[in-house]
Amino acid sequence: MTELELRFLKTLSLRYPTIQKASAEIINLRAILHLPKGTEHFISDIHGEYESFVHILHNASGVVRRKINDIFKDNLRKAEKDQLATLIYYPKEKLKHILQTEENPSEWYRIILYRLIEVCRNASGKYTRSKVRKMLPSDFSYVIEELLHEHHSDVNKIEYYNSIIESIIETKRAEAFIYEICVLIRRLSIDRLHIVGDIYDRGPSPDVIIETLMNYRDVDIQWGNHDVVWMGAALGSNACIASVIRMAARYDNLSTIEDNYGINLLPLAAFAMETYGDDPCKAYKPKVSCNLSDSSETLICRMHKAISVIQWKLDAQVIDRNPSFGMEAIKRLHRVDYEQGTVEIDAVKYELKDSNFPTVDPKNPYELTLEEQKVVARLNGSFLAAEKLQKHVQYLFDNGSMYLTFNSNLLIHGCIPLNKDGSFREMPILGKTYKGKALIDKFERIMRRALANRKMGICNAFEVDYFWYLWQGPDSPLFGKSKMATFEMYLVADKSVHEEIKNAYFTLRETEETCDFILKEFGLNPKGAHIVNGHTPVKWARGESPVKANGKLIVIDGGMSKSYQPITGIAGYTLIFNSYGLILAAHKPFESKKKAIEEELDISTSQTILERVAQRKRVRDTDVGLELQKQIIDLEFLLKAYRDGVIREQS
């Protein structure tokens, strides 16, 4: 035995100081390996749509309702099943709604408690008692544990079981108990939650989504480009700040910034009214229809124009600082003929829909005016001082990454940048070229270094500029297009210049050969492995399939964002990976939480089995199982050391 092995065993013996404790842990871990694999849920492109996201989370993409149907079969009417499901989704609100008309609350409590316990027992069946115990609410942990592991049909304990139920009702704790057991059922229905990017932008409540995730266990996030632009803004990137505000104005969501995150937009509003007070700013109307007064819409349009012009200037400054980005061609303001009202794009002149640029100096078009500099400085200070935003961005760093390999699946929001011949695209960073996995790892290291430096009060322009690049750079794995044609979409009517050419990945991912090539790059065995993407909405209504390369790659952006639903024809996908295989759930639009509670309307979900395994997957077949097997080997090594007298047991 080497000295290093001896040191390792001595450290391990501190946790397992006796033969009894080490052997007991081996027995426990070996038993866990034979449990069914937990259910994983994959969701992407939430885009601030809190109500839809939470409903899908609460019904576990139809898993909760399926459990109810499996347990009660024909013993309950459909109306009773609907009520039970809605109660699990929204216990506080549904309880209040039911008790307004319920004539005999005690009897209703008694019936519903028995039903909830049956559902909870079923949901907890694939977990160890220890794992379930850790999820139990502190106030009712003993009671729930007893009810889960006893049964009202057991003649020896029927009175004991019933007395617990009666006591919950008599002590007026039924409502609190129902709430806690409903939350527990939801938690047990999803063992691990994967968010494959784009929590932010378009929808109204990304902050509430983050708060929801922060109270959830076993969550991982693969950052999307709409996430990293917010992360860059929180770290002080002026270009990212401008992009975040412009997107919010475009979708009439400035309240997300101002009200939800407490960031002061008054300096921008005052500047916009003073600078563009006589300008109707028609090209900058919000993209979504909103019930705004004329004065409110006018203010948003002017703020939208003001921040758009500032963004185009700041974007150009980032490009000039970083020639390795190769983005000189997307700069537009120096190609505008301010007298003729035209812009030159690829040697062709196009008429502008709006050519009023009072803050642009044609001789130095990318220099901010003094007033614009003051606005940017005030906004920068507000973003850095926004406590809630800083907390949320820290959560994204702590629980997120550029990609994740987990249980033979590669999760990445956008793409792996490829050349047309299928080889990995190279990008120079500080004199060295990177490609494939190494490039994406390098991006993440730069991001994390930027966070560490910001905590020390250092803002390195080189580092924060990469957040902006990941937001819209041509070789960004989170964006994957030739350009973000913002200027052209706003100001040029000819749609031929609006095209954002996708990276070759989006064509080549249709082939198994490409997917296998990528999976090997990330250390996965292509046999049985998959790539899971978001980012590009699947046009289901036009016959596009989310399943590519004979099942090797699955795109789960189905349009949870309402602005995409006319294109996709649905309202989002969820991928479910349980012990029996892979299931793709397609969701119809969610009407409202109010209707779900009052009318018991669930999201209409259709499920497609993508893969079904011949033999049910167990924990031993997962990444967690591999780690447990390594722990067993270590403990067996310790056990042998105890028995050989190499390590002494501690009393």
| Per-residue pLDDT at 151 exceeds 70 | no
Tell me which residue of 346, 375, 343 sits closest to 362, measured CA to CA: 343
Same domain, 17 and 160: no
- What is the average pLDDT across 211-230? 94
- State yes or no: pLDDT of 563 exceeds 80: no
| pLDDT at 168 exceeding the cut of 70 | yes
What is residue 573's predicted lDDT score, i.e. its pLDDT? 86
Q: Is the pLDDT of residue 155 over 70?
A: no
pLDDT at 560 over 90: no
β-pair type (530-533, 547-548): unpaired
* Contacting residues for 592 by C-beta, under 8 A, at least 6 apart: 51
- Dihedral, CA atoms, 455, 458, 459, 460, nearest 10 degrees? -120
Residue 306 in any domain: the answer is yes
The pTM for the full model equals 0.92
Average pLDDT over residues 619-637: 94
Residue 28 · residue 131 · CB < 8 Å: no
**26 and 117 fall within a common domain:** no
CA 169 to chain centre: 39
Domain assignment present for residue 314? The answer is: yes
Identify whether residues 467 and 425 lie together within a single domain: yes
Q: Is residue 195 part of a domain?
A: no
Q: Looking at the structure, tell me whether residues 167 and 243 fall in a common domain.
A: no
Residue type, 449: R
The structural domain count of the chain equals 3
Cβ 566 vs Cβ 558: under 8 Å: no
- Residue 239 and residue 173 share a domain: no
Average pLDDT over residues 394-421: 97
Above 70 in pLDDT, residue 153? no
Q: Kindly state whether residue 155 falls inside one of the protein's structural domains.
A: yes
11 and 121 in a common domain: no
Mean pLDDT value of segment 620-646: 94
Same domain? For 344 and 297 the reply is yes
Q: Is 5 left (phi over 0), alpha (psi -120 to 50) or beta?
A: alpha
Does the pLDDT at position 582 exceed 70?
yes
Domain boundary at 454, 469, 491, which? Answer: 491
Does 155 share its domain with 286?
no
Higher pLDDT, 592 or 124: 124
| Same domain membership, residue 30 and residue 64 | no
Q: Render pLDDT for 415-474 as a digit per residue (tens, 0 to 9).
A: 999 999 999 999 999 999 999 999 999 999 999 999 999 998 888 889 999 999 999 999
Last residue of one domain, picked from the residues 438, 460, 491: 491
261 and 167 part of one domain: no
User: Are residues 459 and 343 located together in one domain of the fold?
Assistant: yes
Separation between Cα atoms, residue 130 and residue 126, nearest integer Å: 12
Tell whether 310 and 381 lie within a shared domain.
Answer: yes
- In angstroms, rounded to a whole number, what is the distance separating the alpha carbons of residues 485 and 472? 10
Q: Is residue 553 part of a domain?
A: no
- The answer to whether residue 246 sits within a structural domain is yes
Q: Flag whether 244 is in a domain.
A: yes
Q: Is the pLDDT of residue 408 over 70?
A: yes
Span 145-170, mean pLDDT?
80
What average pLDDT does the chain have? 92
Domain boundary among 491, 524, 556: 491
Q: Which residues of 27-51 are buried (b: 16+ CB within 10 A; e: fewer)?
A: eebeebbebbbbbbbbbbbbbbbbb
Position 217 scores a pLDDT of: 83
Q: Residue 451: which residues within 8 A CB-CB, separation 6 or more?
A: 235, 397
pLDDT of 318 > 70? The answer is yes
The DSSP code sequence of 61-97 is: GGHHHHHHHHHHGGGS-HHHHHHHHHHHHSHHHHHHH
Is 44 within the bounds of a domain? Answer: no
- Flag whether pLDDT at 293 surpasses 90: no
Q: Which domain holds residue 626?
A: 3-34+622-644
